[in-house]
Each structure stands twice: as structure tokens, then as C-alpha cells.
Structure 1
């Protein structure tokens, strides 16, 4: 049976499929983690420790000696993505503050959900799209963009929008695993090779754990709003990223390919709430909305990117 190949036919499948399996199990059997306990319970509730290990492994892939092109391309996309999330978060914060909308079509929407969905790019999907439609150097740009990973920049964005303050220890703790990985990977190439292998391996495991913290009833509630958030991520960040990509010598393909929500972003609301309890009530709805955005952007972004790449190809003939 070609299970892996079948899963990988789905955009972002190694993240999405385990996440959905975990969510289905938790929805059908909400007490299963405590019923079995031990390693099974740890697997279903240990997303944060697994994400910490993931960030160490991810950090090891970032080379301090990256070429100027990679730095320019990755840095431009990184700053644009964060800047747009910060701007949208600032505007939304004027209306929503630290809370969320309680009723109506937009019930459950919060600045936390918006920022978490916009801040982080689906790296696997970006690199896959660049491998097909972009240049080899564009693939390497994600080594810079991967600094988006984790709750650190979401905390910075929320702080910059004047919505919450986080102790410096918490901010450092959020980025420390990534930094440790960067240092280790640059000090020892063999260690980089060793740790980098853990990046794809860990994805389905923390995805399953994240899914096991979701109730599909909440995702169902996210419904059209979750779809709308995903579409907004593609349109708003996509247009901005496409523009800055072209301004820096690109053709816009890399910018569009980065207009996604990373799978691990579904864990950001919980991580942010662990650092500031004011966000605890928002976690279920924010997680559901971000999870919806992950799925929507994983489907929509490849379609948009492929369309633009083919349009450019047709123009060049």
C-alpha cells in the first residue's frame, strides 16, 4: 500500500491528514487520551513538546552563510508577511481588542485568530511550489522565512498592536529552540544533516497531537468564517507578497506561493495563551479558524500560483 504517496497527493497532506485524524478521534472519543493515558495520552496531548523539538530541527536548516539572493528574497517575503499581519492585527484590534465577536456570522473571530493565520507560511507547500514553478534559489529563501515559525512573532505582533504584553522571558523562550537549532546546525554540518531529517518526520506527529486538541464541532462552527479567513489570507497577503516579490526582481510566483497559513500555526493560539492567560477563552475558536485557514490556503494557493506561473509562461512565448 502506498499510504505516504497517497497522503502527499493532497496539498500539505502530511500536516492536514494527521490533524484531521486526530480531530476525528477526539470528537468521537473526547476522553480517549485520559482513558488510555501513558504514551497514548502523551501523544495526543503533547503538541507543545513536539513543536519545541520541531523548532530545534527547523532552526538547524537555517544557514548563516546564505547567499545574498536568498537573504534578499527570504527577508523581503518575511518582512512583508509579518508587516501585513501586524497592520491587519492593529486595525482589527481597534474593533475587537483582546476579545472576540460573540454572535452573528463573525462569531469567534479574534485578533489572535487573524494574526496567527496570517503570520506563518506553509514552508513545505512553498518549497514544493517553488520546486515546480520557481528557481532553485527561491526554494532556499524559506531558510529565512522559517523564522516565522512558532508563536514568537505572533506575540510580537499582538504586543505591537497594543493588545497584550508578554514577559521578555516568555518571548525568548518562544524563539530559543529555533535559535539553538540554528547555532547547532551552523557549528556542525553533520549535526545539521542529522537534525534536519527530523523536520518532515515530526510534522505528522505534532499535527496529530494538534488535531487531538480540536473538536470538529468547533471547526464546523468556524464554517464559512473559517473559509473566509483562509481566502482573506490568500488575497491580502498574496497581493502584498506578490508586489514586494516583483519589486525585488521576482516575477510574483514566490510571493503567491507564500500566501498560506502554516499547519503548525494551528498550535499558536494555545502557545500564546500559555504565555498570557487573557487569551485562554479564545483558544478553541481561534484554533478552529486557523485550522480552517490551513486547509483552505493549502488548496487555494497552489491553484493561484499555478495559474499565475502559466500566465507568465504564456506571456513569454
Structure 2
């Protein structure tokens, strides 16, 4: 988030900085899409198809539930929120795009670190399929299947192709998997900085409490179904489901990417980006705290002594 806000500060105070310097500096400040393309490729390369059945069942349950909830939210929200988003009042800036982008992706790093502390090794490894949510593909699928936007088939292919190529290469050669997967975290500050250079901080200021409300909504609306799915399908006690109720850091890029593909979303893309950024911060703070308390509650309920493993935090 720091590189993102640094880029936003530069864009707010000197919006034509990239154009002024040109060359590589301009590419670094405006290259959100190519940087994300490389990141998406590396994410695919890092997924091991030979993951254990327990890990696949747990991660599959959480991923499918998260996407299904975002899909339902899109349908319901489209009945009440106009195409141009809410313009006035407490929920000013809210749009269907903002809600989907905030809810359809889990922060895999945050989830893994929480479950390393409060769950089992298999539960921590369940982030393996959460990479499938990364990038704009799931958001595009939800918008398309709900009738909110129409994407040509080749656009869907273009959105997922880097991921698939990385996935294939990573599973054909484990050395390639190790090599490319190391770049996954390295790319995050770069696309965060580039994305920040498309955000005007005055828009974030205008979101005000709405961004906090969105973060809380993400935890409540996605957290409850995730906890139920984890308990009754995934074989857990609900802790993993709550730990997955966050907004992924990469989700902040989706509104702008979708707007580039479908210009009709441009009017709401900037406010959606600001709201999603706020949701990332709110969920990154609240989800670990809530998960810790819930884990302790379940341990006491089952007559176990809560054990705290090595601490780990991530955003």
C-alpha cells in the first residue's frame, strides 16, 4: 500500500510527471497493465498441481464460495445501484464494480500467515488455489454472467493466457516454478506504484467513512458464508473461512483494468479504486484480529488450550 499511496501523492500533486520525464520513468509510472501481466504469469507458475487432496478441497471450497458470494452480491446490487454508481449521500462512490472488486478476491498472503498461526499446515496451504482469483478474470466473469457487461471471448482468453502459460511451465519444470514464483512478491510494489499514479487522493478523501463501511461489509457478507462452507464442506471449524474474508491487495487494480476493457466503467473506476484500497486496509487490520479471537473461542469451546504458533503478518 505504501508504493500505491506514494504514486497517488505524485499524481495528485504533479499529475503529468510521467509524461514530463518520459522514457523508463514514464513506463514505471504508467505501466500497470504490463507489470500486472508479468505478475499474473508468475502467480500461475507458482501453483503446484500436485497439491494434496486436503489442500485442494479446502482451497477449492473457499475460492468457489468467495466467487459465488461476489456473484450474488453483483446481482442484488445491480437492482439498487445505478450504472453510474451512487453519487450523493453516505454511500457516495459505491458501485457494483467496487463491490465485486472488493469481494471476489482473498488476500492469499494474509490468509496463509493467519492460518500458519491459528490453523493446520493443510489449512495454511489452502491459499494454493486463491491465485486463481488474482487478476481481472473473475471480475470479468461475474460482470459477464450477471449481464452487467459483455466481453468478447478473446478478451477472456487474453486475460487468463499469461496465467495459464505460467501454470503450464511451472508444472512442467519445478525449477521454473521456483524461479518465477520468487518474482510474485517482488512485482507487487511496482504495480502498486504504477496504479497509484492513476489515483487522485482527493477522490480517496471523498470516500470517507464509505471505504471503512465497505471493508466491514466484505468481512460480514463474505465471512459468514465462508465460515459455513469451511465447517460443512471443507471439514474445518470456520476459522479458515473467517481468515479468507479479506480483500486482496491486487484487487485494487481491477477497477481500472476493467475500465480499460469496457470504457463504460470509466466514470466509476477511480472511486471504485479508492474504495477497494480502503477495504484492503480495513480487512488487513480486522481479519487477523477477528480470526484470532474466533480461534481462541473455538479452542475453549472444544476444551482445548489455545496454542499460539510463530507469529506472521502480511498484507
Scaled to the shorter chain, the TM-score interval is over 0.9
Of 244, 249, 258, which aligns to 1:258?
A: 244
Aligned to 2:202: 217
- Alpha-carbon distance between aligned partners in 2 of 1:111 and 1:305, rounded to the nearest angstrom: 28
Aligned to 1:114: 99
1:236 equivalenced with 2:191 (yes/no):
no
Of 268, 276, 285, which aligns to 2:271?
A: 285
- Alpha-carbon distance between aligned partners in 2 of 1:109 and 1:159, rounded to the nearest angstrom: 20
After superposition, the CA RMSD in angstroms is 1.2
Of 13, 26, 30, which aligns to 1:41?
A: 26
Describe the superposition over 1:254-291 as per-residue Cα deviations: whole angstroms up to 9, x where unpaired.
11111111111111011111221211111111111111
Q: Which moved more, 1:171-180 or 1:30-39?
A: 30-39
1:302 equivalenced with 2:288 (yes/no):
yes
Q: What 5-or-longer segments of structure 1 have no aligned partner?
A: 1-15
Aligned to 1:269: 255
Shift of 1:97: 4.8
- After superposition, where does 1:89-128 map in structure 2 within 5 Å? 89-128=74-113
4+ residue runs over 3 A deviation: none
Give the 3-state SS of the residue equivalent to 2:208 in structure 1.
helix
Describe the superposition over 1:225-267 as per-residue Cα deviations: whole angstroms up to 9, x where unpaired.
1111111001111111111001121021111111111111111
Normalising by structure 2, we get a TM-score of 0.93
Of 135, 139, 148, which aligns to 1:154?
A: 139
Shift of 1:29: 2.1
Aligned residues: 302
Give the 3-state SS of the residue equivalent to 2:149 in structure 1.
coil
Normalising by structure 1, we get a TM-score of 0.92
Shift of 1:131: 1.4
- After superposition, where does 1:184-223 map in structure 2 within 5 Å? 184-223=169-208
Q: Is 1:230–1:293's contact at 8 Å kept on the other side of the alignment?
A: yes
